[in-house]
Each structure stands twice: as structure tokens, then as C-alpha cells.
Structure 1
Amino acid sequence: MLFRQVTHDDLGCASYLVGDDAAGIAAVIDPRFEIDVYLDLARYMGVRIEHILETHNHADHVSGHGRLALATGATIHVHRLAAPEYEHEPFDDGWELALGEVVVRALHTPGHRPEHTAFALVDRARGEQPWAVLSGDSLFVGDIARPDLAVDRVEGARGIFRSLHEQLLTLPDSCEVWPGHLGGSMCGGPGMDMKVSSTIGYERAHNPLLREPDVERFVARSLATLGPQPPNFEAIVSLNRGPLLATGVEATPLTPRQVELKKGEGALVVDVRTDQQFDEAHVPGAVCITSLSAGFGSRLAWIADREGEILLVGRDDDDALNAAKLATAVGIRRMAGFLHGGMTSWREEGRPVATIERLAIGDLPARAAAGELQIVDVRERREWDEGHIPGSVHTPYHDIDAIPAGIDPELPIAVLCASGQRAAVGASLLARHGAKHVLHVVGGGVGTWERAGLPIER
């Protein structure tokens, strides 16, 4: 049996290549938009990709099923409730696909979305019991999928409860669980683990939500920690249900003069370097979203207007081109281009730069006590409710489309989160919207403040 997991680390997504190397046939489940890895694996293993399976219409990333079907001639299979516009073979619960001695069996598991389906894997050369289940967006390692991307969230949570207890938890304890997402994905909750797999038995014993036998308590617990919905999720679902996308997006190299012109026409300049590099010097009005840490695509999708143009600035051309691929994965397709030569080319021409002051978290208490600073907390609402600095103003970074109410743009503003990463985005957005003196709090955040014994409000 051939089995390979392929992860998209920026989005926390997992896809799979499954097949029988003796029979020379394989299928790809939930392919990402960049398909080279599947083609390379198939060639290396000596198999033909003849089938593409989707667990559901994805809401957080653009599928590569169109590109992969065009490249290989493979048939796309998805549950009939998905109702896509592209050519496909629909299936129902219990459908089986034979790949030599390997059998893929559909387990309809609605909740995350009505069409959602997990796939049990049977290797008949070794036994008739499923040895693994590709759980998609139903059961994760340490958590479950979010229920609010297609139906009422209470209805969705009840659906997930039924899918877990009537389908997945009927599998043997030894059955391996290979999910569609890893920790960091927006399609699950805070309990999601970075571990790439688990087993039904381990999750049954240690996943808190699986140990809850009452459906209404399960619903309440699963909704209590629900974070914000993935950005642009309705638009991404529409792309994944619509006509097949066969092409990516070309990012054009631009000179500093062209960047200035595009900026004047309204393009959003996104600096994908590290936050340290951004704070030291950046194109005035640019937004800081580093592509060198996980989560770039999701953060960009929250900030960017899908109808507006995006212009990328990296350390060099490779930085920007990689960021363009990550942007395409979340449905951002209007690329104005990228600054050729990176930020160095901008500075070599002597063009103006802006800076943002960095403030170590250890120095924040004294500055705050002296009354020198306004504090903006850019974490999510759940985090804010669990504890925040007295007197701070709460606005999640992705909701900053103006100077927040109660903040004076003429006075210094310290921006913080839990670690400094989201604060980098928030600080750049406040500067973009006219704040005169923004300070990016680094080296920690609200948790660091609390552990130092400083006051916290709840």
C-alpha cells in the first residue's frame, strides 16, 4: 500500500496520496492548489493518479482538483450534496473505490458541511478492517471541526456529534486518524494538536469533546471556544464549487517607480519580510504580514479586499513569489505585482521609508504607568475576555479599518497581542490609517504581563 501525507504548513492543511504501487494506481484526497508535490510523488512511486477525492467544499483554501485533473486526466469524486458546477462523479455514504488491493470507503459525516465525507482505508492484502480513516474536517487530533461554515452553528454541532458517534467512533480503536487539518488551522478549535495523526482509541480516551455523551452539552462546549470564521470563506467555497480553476496567478516584477504608481492607484502594499525588518524600514503605508511564519494566507485574506490589487514586498524576488503562491491558496487572485529586488531596490533609489518603534514587553509597564501610552489589544474576543490589561482598548487586528474609538491618533499607541506576531500586523494597520506614533510590543504579550504579577481585568 502507498500512503503519503502532504501538509500545507501556512494554512495547517493536510492532503493525501493513497494507492497500490503493485497495481500502479493512486488517488489524491483534498489536493492543495500547488500540485507539483503529487505529480513528483506519483512519478517517484511509479503510479498513475487516476482519482481525486474531496471530503467537502473547502472554506479556508482553494482546492487544486482542477489543476490536478487537467494534468492527469483523473476523475473527481465528491458527495452529491456538494453539488459542484464542474464535471465529477457523485457518491453517497458507503461508496467504495478500489485501487488495486486498497479500498477507499466513504463515510458520510455531515456537520462541518452537509456534504462532508470521511474516507476509511482498507488494505485487503492485510485484512478487511479499516486501518486508517482520513477524517477531513470532522475529527482532528485533540479537537473537532467547527460547525458554522454552512448551516446554523447549533445544527452543525449536532450534526458533528451524530457523525462522530454513528460513524467515526464505530471504527476499531486501532484505526489511525489522519485529519484534514493540523494545529493552527481556522477550521478547528484551540485544542487542535500539531501532531499529524492519532488513533480512534486515543482520541476516544483523550479528546475532551469525544468524552462528552450528552449532545446538548457537547454543542455548548464546542461552541464556547469557537473563534472567528475563516476570512472570505463564502468566496472560497464558491471558487471550489465553481468551474475548475486550472491556472494560478502570475506576479509581475515592478520597479520602485511602478510600485509608487500602483500604490497611488490604491493597491495594498503587503510587506512579507520579518516584522523586525519591517519595523526598521518599510514602504510608507505598507502592511506587515510576514510569509516566513505560519498563517500568512489567513491573515492576508482577512486584511485584503479581494476586488482590490495586492502588491508584495519581500527581502528578494523569491520571497515575494512564494508569498504570491500562498495568497493564491486563499483565493487572492488580483496581484498588482511585486517589488523587483526587494526592499533593497527601494532604498537604493533613496525613496522615503517609514519605521515603527519596537517596545520590549518588559518595558511596557513603566511606560504605561507613566501615562505615556495608549494600549490597543489586537487579540481575539475570547482571549480578551479571559484577561486583558486595565485601560487597554480591544480591536482584533483584522478589524482595524480605522483608528479605534477612544484612541487619539496624535498620541503614542502601543499595540500588543499574545506574542507580538499579530501586533505587528495591527501596528502597521494603525500607522496606515494615520496614527502618528505606533509602538509594536515585542517579546511577549498579555500573558507575559500577567505572569509578571501585573494587574489583569476579566
Structure 2
Amino acid sequence: MIFRQIVHEDLGCASYLVGDEGAGVAAVVDPKLDVEEYLALARYMGVRIAHVLETHNHADHVSGHGRLAAATGATIHVHRDAAPDYEHEPFDDGWELELGSVRVRALHTPGHRPEHTAFALVETARGPEPWAVLTGDTLFVGDVARPDLAIEKEDGARAMFRSLHGTLLTLPDSCEVWPGHLGGSLCGGPGMDMKVSSTIAYERAHNPLLSERDEDRFVALATGTLAPQPPNFRAIVERNRGPLTHAVPAVVALTPHALEQAVAGGALVVDVRTDREFDEAHVPGAVCNPAVRAGFGTKLAWVAERGRELVLVGRDEDDARRAAQLAAAVGIVSVAGVLAGGMTSWRHERRPTASLRRIDVATLHAELDGMQVLDVRERADWEAGHVPGALHTAYHDLGELPAGLDPARPVATICASGQRSAIAASLLARLGVAEPVHVADGGVGTWRDHGWPLETFPAPTPSR
């Protein structure tokens, strides 16, 4: 039997190559947009990719099913309720696909989306019981999927509860759990683990949401800590449901002069280098979004206005082109170009640069009396504990200057680690703040670890 997990590290998406080497046939489950890795694996193992299986219409990344089908002639299979606008073979609950001695069995598990289906894997040469289940976006390691990206969140959570307890948790304890996402994906919650797999028994014993057997309490837990819905998820779903696409748009290399012309025409410059490099020197007006850290595409979707052209700036041209591929994976194809030669070419021509002041948490504490502090984490995090006096606006909501901030005074942006605060500081510069200050190499947790006081919201009532 052939079984390989392939992970898109930026998005935390997992896909799978499953097949039988003896029979020379394989299937890919939930392919990512960049399909070359599947083709290389198939060549290496001497199998033909004859089938593409989708667990559902994905909302967080663009599927590679069209490109893979064009490259291999494979048949695409998806649950009947998905109703896509492309040639496919629909299946229903209980459908089975034979790949030599490997049998793939469809387990309809609605909740994340109505069409969602998990796939149980049976190796018939060894026994009739499933040895693994590809749980897609229903059960993760340490968590369950969010229920609010297709239907009303409570309806989704109730369907999820029944899919978990009525289907997945009836599988053998020894059955391995291979999810569609790892920790950090927007399709799950804060409990998602970075481990690549688990077992039914382990999840039953240690996954907090699975221990809740009351449906109403499960619904309250599953819907109580949902992160904001990503801005482009509906567009990604429609693209994945729509006619098959086979090509990724070409990205043009722009000279510094052409970049200036693109900006004059309304394009947004996104700097994909590290935040330290950005703080030292960047194209004036650029937004910082490092592509060297996971979540680049997800964060880009928040700061990129739909329909507005983007120009990507990296350390060199290849750096920016890799970022363009990550952008395409989340449906952002409005990249007008990349800076030829990277930031080096801009500085070589002695073009103007801007910089941001970069401080650590200890410096923020020492200078707090002279600083305005903007906490750019999610609101629930800010309410649980923030630097005294800090205002709150999540980084992805900085479309205008937050109320209460004086743009003429220094504003220090802070998050949990220094990543979101880097984006936020660059956005404040675009909004006219005279001295944005990037709190880097730590955040609110670092403040807490030093023993310095935190405020909560609502503020506790003073005792009398």
C-alpha cells in the first residue's frame, strides 16, 4: 500500500496520495494548487494517478483538482451535495473506490459543510477493518472544525456533533486519524495540534470537544470561540465549485520605475521579507507581511482589498515569486508584478526608503508613559488581558485610524509574538501615524512573564 501525507506549510493544509504499488494505481485526496509534488511522487512510486477525491468544497485554499486532472486524466469525485460546476463523478455515503488491494470508503460527515465527507481506508490484504480515516475538516488532532463557513453556525455545530459521535467515533479505537489541516489553519480553533496524525482512541480520550456528550453544550463550546470569518472564503468556495482552471497567472518582473507607476495607478506594495528587514528599510507605503512565516496567504487575504492590484517585494525576485504562489493558493491572483532584483535593486537606484522603530517588550514597559499602545490581537485575547491603557483593533480591521489614537504621537503595536504587530505598524504608517512603533520579539505574554500588571475587559469593579 502507498500512503503519503503532503502538507502545504503556509496554510496548514494536508493532502494525501493513496494507492497500491502492485496495481500501479493511486488517488489524491484534497490536492493543493501546486500539483508537481503529487506528479513527482507518482513517478517515483510507479503509479498512475487515476482519481482525485475531494472531502468538500474548500473555503481556505484553492484546490488543484483541475490542474491535476488535466495533467493525469484523473476522474474527480466529490459528494453529490457539493454540486460543482465541473465534470465529476458524484458519490453518496458508503460509496467505495477500489485501488488494487486498497479500498477507500466514503463517510458522509456534514458539519463544516453540508457535503463534507471523510474517507476510511481499508487494506484488504491485511483485514476488513479501516486502519485509517482521512477526516478532512471534521476532526483534527486536538480539535474539531469550525461550523460557520457554509451554514448558520449552530446548525453546522449540531451536524458536526452527530457526524463525530454517529460516524467517526464508531470506528475502531486503533484507527488512525489523518486530518485535512494541522495547527494554524483558519478552518479550526485554538486547540489544533501541529502533530500530523492521531488515533480515534487518543482523540476520544484527550480531545476536549469530543468529551462533551451533551449536544447543546457541544454547540455552545464549538461556536463560542470562533475566529472572524476570513474575507475571501466565499470567493474561494465559488472558485473551487466553478469550472476547472488549469493555469496559474504569470507574474511580471517590474523595474523600480514600473513599480512606482503601478503604485501611482493604485497598486498596493506588499513587502514579503522578514519584519526585521522591513523595519530597517522598505518602499514607502509598503505593507509588511513576511512570507517566511506560516500564515502568509491567510494574512494577505485580510490586507489585500478585493480587486486591487498587488506588487510584491522580496529580498530578490525569486523570493517574491514564491510569495505570489502562496497568494494564488488562497485565490489572490491580482498580483501585478514583483520587484525585479528585489529590495536590493530599489536601494541600488538610491530610491527613497522608510523605516519603522523596532522595540522589545522591556523597552515598551520603560517608555509606556510616552506611548499609545494598540493591541492588534483578536478581541477575546485583548479582553482576557492587555497592557494597561491599551486600545484594541485587530490588525485585519485597520482600514482606518482607530478612534482614540492621536496620529501625531507614537503608537506602539503589540500582539502575541511580534508578527501581527509588524503588519499593524506598517498599516498605521499608511494611515498617517507619524511614529508607528513595532513591538517585536515577544508580546503580551512576554509582558505577563515579566510579572507586569495586565488589565482585563470589562475592568473589574473596585472593592469598597
TM-score > 0.5 by shorter chain: yes
Shift of 1:447: 1.2
Alignment of 1:392-403 (within 5 A): 392-403=390-401
Tell me which residue corresponds to 2:443.
445
For 2:407 and 2:308, locate their aligned partners in 1 and report how far apart those are by CA, in whole Å: 26
Runs of 4+ aligned structure 1 residues displaced above 2 Å come to none
Shift of 1:306: 2.6
Shift of 1:83: 0.5
For 1:418 and 1:122, locate their aligned partners in 2 and report how far apart those are by CA, in whole Å: 43
Shift of 1:167: 0.5
Shift of 1:450: 1.7
Aligned-pair identity in percent equals 67
TM-score, structure 1 length as denominator?
0.99
Tell me which residue corresponds to 1:151.
151
TM-score, structure 2 length as denominator?
0.98
Tell me which residue corresponds to 1:194.
194
Shift of 1:231: 3.0
Alignment of 1:289-438 (within 5 A): 289-368=289-368, 371-438=369-436
Q: Deviations over 1:214-251 (max 9, x none)?
A: 00111111112211223300000010000111110211
For 2:153 and 2:223, locate their aligned partners in 1 and report how far apart those are by CA, in whole Å: 8
Shift of 1:275: 0.2
Shift of 1:362: 0.8
Alignment of 1:2-401 (within 5 A): 2-368=2-368, 371-401=369-399
Asked if 2 retains the 8 angstrom alpha-carbon contact of 1:187 and 1:230, the reply is: no
Q: Which runs of 5+ in 1 are unaligned?
A: none
Q: Which runs of 5+ in 2 are unaligned?
A: 457-464
Over aligned residue pairs, what C-alpha RMSD do you find? Answer: 0.7
Shift of 1:45: 0.3
For 1:338 and 1:356, locate their aligned partners in 2 and report how far apart those are by CA, in whole Å: 22
For 1:356 and 1:449, locate their aligned partners in 2 and report how far apart those are by CA, in whole Å: 21
Secondary structure, counterpart of 2:209 in structure 1: helix
Asked if 2 retains the 8 angstrom alpha-carbon contact of 1:59 and 1:230, the reply is: no
Q: Deviations over 1:250-305 (max 9, x none)?
A: 11101000001101111010000000000000000000000000000000011102
Asked if 2 retains the 8 angstrom alpha-carbon contact of 1:270 and 1:312, the reply is: yes
Shift of 1:385: 1.6
For 1:389 and 1:334, locate their aligned partners in 2 and report how far apart those are by CA, in whole Å: 38
Asked if 2 retains the 8 angstrom alpha-carbon contact of 1:272 and 1:312, the reply is: yes
For 1:56 and 1:65, locate their aligned partners in 2 and report how far apart those are by CA, in whole Å: 12
Asked if 2 retains the 8 angstrom alpha-carbon contact of 1:279 and 1:356, the reply is: yes
Secondary structure, counterpart of 1:321 in structure 2: helix
For 1:90 and 1:443, locate their aligned partners in 2 and report how far apart those are by CA, in whole Å: 49
For 2:361 and 2:92, locate their aligned partners in 1 and report how far apart those are by CA, in whole Å: 54
Shift of 1:443: 1.9
For 2:383 and 2:95, locate their aligned partners in 1 and report how far apart those are by CA, in whole Å: 46
Secondary structure, counterpart of 1:405 in structure 2: coil
Shift of 1:337: 0.2
Amino acid in structure 1 at the alignment position of 2:279 = D
Aligned positions, number: 456
